Chain A
Amino acid sequence: MEKTENLLEINNLVVRYGGIEAVRGISFGVPKGKIVTLIGSNGAGKSSTLRSVVGLVKPAAGSITFKGEDLLKLPTETIVTRGITMVPEGRRVFVNLTVAENLRMGAYMRKDSIDKDLERVYTLFPRLKERSWQPAGTLSGGEQQMLAIARALMSKPELVMMDEPSLGLAPIIVQEVFEIIREINREGTTILLIEQNANMALQTADCGYVMETGRITLSGTGRELAENEQVREAYLGKAKE
């Protein structure tokens, strides 16, 4: 892995829910301008890691820094203004608000004009422009995922964290979603991607980490991991067929 400045740094992070340890002391960094993926099966602790970065979960131990600033003491709304956004698992668009209102909500913490970003998002996702007056609940699953990503971009983030963006989508839509992710990254946004769809994630990512039962068991570039015997057996077996 080449050495670049880490935008996000996680050190010895421990997350506990009651007596259960979901994350057991993991450390990794997200270099600026890259796509980093965390892969692993259900319950490996991926989502808990993301949720503790944005302050939705309070970690039991460890440190999280963004551009050198400690995030652990900050409330979620401040973390958003620092330049981190999360695309939550399962899309979670505001179903009764229109597409345009959903996008506005993404820019909720911003005080400056958002017209330029609306324009940018609409060029990235022309379908959202066509449907800007429809309630988000009437969109298809794929369109809702696009809206969730677009909404996250509205806060002008430096780091976008996506929790299972391919969950429950048809393969052709998954392709589209990953193309969009690459496109956003090309425009300069750093991406931390959580996926169970290891095949797509490793193809897209610059580097990746494999999580198992709360620990990072493997790391490497996307290609290295994709060729790793253990990874192929555990995560890519079906996908390669």
Chain B
Amino acid sequence: MSKMKEKAVSSKMNGGYVPGSSGHVYQKRRDPHHVRSAVLTIAACILLAALMAFYQKNASDHSYAISIIERSAVYAVAAAAMNLVTGFTGLFSLGAAGFMAIGAYTTAVLTIPLSARASVYYMNGIAPWLENLQVPVLVAMILGGLISAGFAALIGIPVLRLKSDYLAIATLGFAEIIRTVLAAPMMDQITNGSYGLNNIPGFTNIFQPLILAAVCIAIMMLLLHSSYGRAFKAVRDDEVAAEAMGINLFRTKELSFVISSFFMGISGGMLALFMRSIDTKTFQITMTYNILLIVVLGGIGSITGSIIGALLINGGQEWLRFLDEPLTVGGVSIPLFRPGFRMVIYSIVLMVVVLFWRRGIMGDREFSWNHLFSVFRRKKKASQGGAQ
């Protein structure tokens, strides 16, 4: 009993985080530092906005950083959506690339400027109904999300009855089918077949993808904190118990799958706008693996982890670029440093991270300032203890 009280007291002092309890979200617990947290969050947002405004103003000097940030925003949405299904509902789905392809193609087909269509479709011609059909970018993206969600609802009916690896294989197959259909000659007049689509209107400034991503992720977070979110987690933790509580397993899984696919469709649309030209090769299985990597690295069951993971994976591939340059030390050119070496190191780093940091960077916690401070405090204490 007394031990228990001690723990309760110490957890209060740590700002809601109980060390040794493997770390979890203490939802709705009154945060003793809520003012500090709010101030820090607002300050961080302002700082971030200022940095982005600075990049935007000098866009030509920072086009490299801008492209990394925009790509990260796109992948953060996709990773959060995958986390919704994999991390929070416990469904191991590998259909991400397929749903993103649907979103990307819908957005692209509906937004390419009318004047550019003749040149885009010069090989096969354009379907007559599509020739003069153009909608605003935002509408096209939402439509892409809805179509993607519709497909998810349909294939969810047979597929969500499968468990773990079987579900992964089935969704993987679905994604490949979507890709093949999009590239099929019968679709030439809509998707331009293997030639792909270009002339897609891009983002005009860095804030557009960031705000889009922020809105999408905020909606997913709200969902996870609602009673639906609790039902997702209950299904993940124990299907039998969840069913005994009266949760309809299939309906809950289907809901999570459909919502996740909606946001994957949106992120696909964002990707089309970011790349400005797409073809079906973009949406191969590698893309799903990349997103899965972000989810695992960031932490399965942590949305903030997915955001951090997206930044690290997209940034990391670029930051390691120096490894591709030839390196000469003392007149001897080291043979390993040549194009492609970067990917070797990158893969090794990932393996090491997954081996030694199995729960990812965030585990299943969400980011909180209090936790960040308590980590620093513990490190400081540890170093003081070591000096004595």
Q: Determine if B246 and A138 form an interchain contact, defined as CB atoms under 8 angstroms apart.
A: no
| Most B Cβ at <10 Å: residue of A92, A94, A109 | A94
Name the interface residues of A149-202: CB closer than 8 Å to any CB of B.
151, 155
Q: Determine if B238 and A105 form an interchain contact, defined as CB atoms under 8 angstroms apart.
A: no
A225→B61 CA distance, assembly (Å): 87
A56→B237 CA distance, assembly (Å): 18
A131→B175 CA distance, assembly (Å): 44
Q: Determine if B233 and A77 form an interchain contact, defined as CB atoms under 8 angstroms apart.
A: no
Q: Does A135 sit within 8 A of B, measured CB to CB?
A: yes
Q: Does A97 sit within 8 A of B, measured CB to CB?
A: yes
Q: Does A88 sit within 8 A of B, measured CB to CB?
A: yes
Closest to B301 in A: A96
Q: Determine if A108 and B247 form an interchain contact, defined as CB atoms under 8 angstroms apart.
A: yes
Q: Determine if A106 and B243 form an interchain contact, defined as CB atoms under 8 angstroms apart.
A: no
Q: Determine if B240 and A92 form an interchain contact, defined as CB atoms under 8 angstroms apart.
A: yes
Render A118-157 as a binary contact track against B, CB cut-off 8 A, 1 for contact.
Answer: 0000000000001101110010000000001001000100
The size class of the interface chain A forms with chain B is: 20 to 34
Interface segment, one of B23-31, B63-71, B258-266: B23-31
Q: How far does the Cβ of A83 sit from chain B's closest Cβ, in whole Å?
A: 11
Render B233-269 as a binary contact track against A, CB cut-off 8 A, 1 for contact.
Answer: 1101110111111111000000000000000000000
Residues of A within 8 A of B328 (CB): none
Residues of B within 8 A of A130 (CB): 4, 8
Q: Does B188 sit within 8 A of A, measured CB to CB?
A: no
Q: Determine if B231 and A108 form an interchain contact, defined as CB atoms under 8 angstroms apart.
A: yes
Residues of A within 8 A of B246 (CB): 76-77, 79-81, 108-109, 155
Q: Determine if A101 and B4 form an interchain contact, defined as CB atoms under 8 angstroms apart.
A: no
Among B8, B237, B248, contact of A94 (Cβ-Cβ < 8 Å): B237
Among B18, B227, B237, B244, contact of A88 (Cβ-Cβ < 8 Å): B244
Among A75, A98, A151, contact of B245 (Cβ-Cβ < 8 Å): A151
Q: Determine if B244 and A85 form an interchain contact, defined as CB atoms under 8 angstroms apart.
A: yes
Q: Does A104 sit within 8 A of B, measured CB to CB?
A: yes
Contacts known (A80-B245, A81-B246); A56 close to B240, Cβ less than 8 A: yes
Q: Does B364 sit within 8 A of A, measured CB to CB?
A: yes
Residues of B within 8 A of A216 (CB): none
Q: Determine if B234 and A105 form an interchain contact, defined as CB atoms under 8 angstroms apart.
A: yes
Q: Determine if B233 and A88 form an interchain contact, defined as CB atoms under 8 angstroms apart.
A: no
Closest to A87 in B: B244
Closest to A132 in B: B29
Q: Determine if A98 and B238 form an interchain contact, defined as CB atoms under 8 angstroms apart.
A: no
Q: Determine if A131 and B230 form an interchain contact, defined as CB atoms under 8 angstroms apart.
A: no
Q: Determine if A97 and B237 form an interchain contact, defined as CB atoms under 8 angstroms apart.
A: yes
Contacts known (A105-B230, A130-B4, A130-B8); A92 close to B245, Cβ less than 8 A: no
Name the interface residues of A13-46: CB closer than 8 Å to any CB of B.
none
Closest to B29 in A: A133
Residues of B within 8 A of A155 (CB): 245-246
Residues of B within 8 A of A85 (CB): 244
Render B354-370 as a binary contact track against A, CB cut-off 8 A, 1 for contact.
Answer: 00000000001000000
Render B213-238 as a binary contact track against A, CB cut-off 8 A, 1 for contact.
Answer: 00000000000000100110110111
Name the interface residues of B16-66: CB closer than 8 Å to any CB of A.
18, 21-22, 24, 26-27, 29
Q: Does A205 sit within 8 A of B, measured CB to CB?
A: no
Q: How far does the Cβ of B256 sit from chain A's closest Cβ, in whole Å?
A: 15
Q: Determine if A94 and B240 form an interchain contact, defined as CB atoms under 8 angstroms apart.
A: no
The size class of the interface chain B forms with chain A is: 20 to 34
Q: Determine if B4 and A131 form an interchain contact, defined as CB atoms under 8 angstroms apart.
A: yes
Closest to B248 in A: A77
Q: Does A86 sit within 8 A of B, measured CB to CB?
A: yes
Q: Does A72 sit within 8 A of B, measured CB to CB?
A: no
Q: Determine if A94 and B233 form an interchain contact, defined as CB atoms under 8 angstroms apart.
A: yes
Closest to B364 in A: A96
Q: Determine if B243 and A56 form an interchain contact, defined as CB atoms under 8 angstroms apart.
A: yes
A93→B245 CA distance, assembly (Å): 11
Q: How far does the Cβ of A206 sit from chain B's closest Cβ, in whole Å?
A: 24
Q: Determine if B26 and A97 form an interchain contact, defined as CB atoms under 8 angstroms apart.
A: no
Among B27, B236, B364, contact of A101 (Cβ-Cβ < 8 Å): B27
Closest to A55 in B: B243
Residues of B within 8 A of A104 (CB): 227, 230
Residues of B within 8 A of A133 (CB): 26, 29
Q: Determine if B21 and A135 form an interchain contact, defined as CB atoms under 8 angstroms apart.
A: yes
| Most B Cβ at <10 Å: residue of A81, A88, A105, A148 | A105
Q: Does A234 sit within 8 A of B, measured CB to CB?
A: no
Name the interface residues of A54-111: CB closer than 8 Å to any CB of B.
54, 56, 75-77, 79-81, 85-86, 88, 92-98, 101, 104-106, 108-109
Q: How far does the Cβ of B5 sit from chain A's closest Cβ, in whole Å?
A: 8
Residues of B within 8 A of A108 (CB): 227, 230-231, 234, 245-247
Residues of B within 8 A of A151 (CB): 245
A155→B29 CA distance, assembly (Å): 24
Residues of B within 8 A of A95 (CB): 237-238
A108→B24 CA distance, assembly (Å): 22
Residues of B within 8 A of A138 (CB): 21-22
| Most A Cβ at <10 Å: residue of B21, B24, B26, B242 | B24
Given contacts A88-B244, A94-B233, 17 further A-B contacts (CB under 8 A): A54-B244, A76-B244, A76-B246, A77-B248, A85-B244, A86-B244, A92-B244, A93-B241, A94-B241, A96-B24, A96-B301, A97-B233, A97-B234, A104-B230, A130-B4, A133-B29, A135-B21
Which A residues form the contact surface with B (CB < 8 A)? 54, 56, 75-77, 79-81, 85-86, 88, 92-98, 101, 104-106, 108-109, 130-131, 133-135, 138, 148, 151, 155
A-B contact pairs, 14 of them (CB 8 A): A75-B248, A76-B243, A76-B244, A77-B247, A79-B246, A80-B245, A85-B244, A86-B244, A97-B230, A97-B233, A101-B27, A101-B233, A104-B227, A133-B29
Closest 5 CB pairs of A and B: A80-B246, A92-B241, A94-B237, A109-B246, A77-B246
